[in-house]
Amino acid sequence: MTQVQASETFSASSIAADRIGPYRVVDLSKHIDPATSTRRCKLERYYQDWTKDYHTNLDIESHLGTHIETPVHYNDAWKDILDLPVTAFMGRTVLLRLECEPRAPITGAMLERASRGRVQPGDMVVLDSPYHSEPFVKNPNDQRPYLCGESGEWFVQKQVKCVGFGNGVAIEYSVETACAIHEVIMPHDITFLEVMQNIDQLKSDVFFMTCQPMPIKGLDSCCVRAVAIEGIPGFSE
C-alpha cells in the first residue's frame, strides 16, 4: 500500500466556470490537495489482485474542504445526512451580498436588505460580504461579519434549508455566537455549507445549486462538490 498524508488547499481551481448546453456552471468547491495543509485526509492506494486494478482507502475527517453540516453535528438526537431527503442538498439558491461594517454581527435587518424579497421558503442561501479572510485561522486583521443567533432567527423565519458561505462570512467569531446559531437553526433541519470557493465567479444572484454528500448513516458532515448552475428556468430571478 502507498499511504499519502493529505490536507486542504485554499487555492481555487484555475477553471471555476464552464458551460453545459445553454447553462453556465460554477464550481463552488474547495479542492483538496494531498500534498499540503492541515486537515485529516489519508489516502491508501492499493492494487487489487483479483480485479487487476487500483482502489483507495479513505481516512478523512468529516469537516474537510467545502462541507455540508447536518443537525447531528450539534446534537446526537438530531438528524444526520441520511435522515434528510436528497432535496435538502439541492435547489433554488439566492446569493445575499451583505452591506455592513467590519466585524459586525449579521442581523435580520442586514439579511432582509440583501434579500430584497427574493428568498422563498425552501431556498438555499449563500452569503458574501466586502470583507474576506481565510476561514478557521487566527487572523488579527479579520474584518468579516459574523453569524449569530439573530442571523439564525431570520433563516428560520424565511424557512431556508441551507446556509452557505465562503471567506466573506465568519461562523467562528466566538464559541458563544457559533453555538447560538447552531442552536437556533439546526432543530429546523437547516444545514450549513461551509468553506465555499469562487463565489466571485457567479454572474447571477439566483441559481440552482447542488452539494450532495456521501450517503453514510450517522455522518454529521461531509465534503461535497458544490456546483451552481445559472440560467435554468424556474431557478433564476
Mean pLDDT of the region 205-210: 98
172-196 pLDDT, tens digit per residue, is 999 999 999 999 999 999 999 999 9
Which pLDDT score is estimated for 14?
55
Which pLDDT score is estimated for 166?
95
Mean pLDDT of the region 137-145: 91
Q: At what angle do helices 149-158 and 108-115 cross, to 10 degrees?
A: 40
Nine cell digits for residue 60: 478523512
Give the CB-side neighbour count of residue 130, counting CA atoms within 13 A.
7
Among 35-49, 139-153, 180-194, 199-213, the minimum mean pLDDT is found in 35-49
d(CA 155, CA 108) in angstroms, rounded, equals: 9
Residue of 237 and 2 predicted with greater confidence: 237
Q: Is 210:25 a contact under the CB 8 Å cutoff?
A: no
Kindly compute the dihedral angle of the four CA atoms of residues 199, 163, 31, 133, in this order, to the nearest 10 degrees. Answer: 60
Domain layout of the chain by residue ranges? 13-31+62-230
Topology of the domain covering 13-31+62-230: Glucose Oxidase; domain 1 (3.50.30)
d(CA 149, CA 156) in angstroms, rounded, equals: 11
pTM of structure: 0.90
Q: Where does the pLDDT of residue 36 fall: very low under 50, low under 70, confident under 90, or very high at 90 and above?
A: confident
Residue recorded with cell 458544490: 226
d(CA 170, CA 168) in angstroms, rounded, equals: 7
